[in-house]
Amino acid sequence: MRTVWRKSSKSGGEQAACVEKADGQPLYRDSKNPEGPSVGVSPQGCAIFQAAAAAGQFDRPF
């Protein structure tokens, strides 16, 4: 079965650096290296990561 990857609607254009999530699976990959490795995350870890990202914990300071 082919893995379908999704980018956040908040991501920039096609060349933007972002993290993609596999549809229906706890897998993540770097969009700059789509043929590279993906990282599996437990459902609990996924929820913690998403909550932290939504709270801005990974935002770059400007």
User: How confident is the prediction along the chain (62 residues), in pLDDT tens digits per residue?
Assistant: 678 888 777 776 665 667 787 877 778 888 888 888 988 888 899 889 889 989 999 898 87
Q: Measured between alpha carbons, how far is 12 from 55 in angstroms, rounded to an integer? A: 19
Cα 58–Cα 10–Cα 43 angle in degrees, nearest 5: 60
Q: What is the pLDDT of residues 9-25, one digit of tens each?
A: 777 666 566 778 787 77
Question: In DSSP terms, which residues pair with 27 in a beta bridge?
Answer: 40
Q: Which two three-digit tokens encode residue 59?
A: 């935002």
Domain ranges of the chain: 1-7+15-33
Instruction: Return all residues near 11 (Cβ < 8 A) that are at least 6 apart.
Output: 18, 31
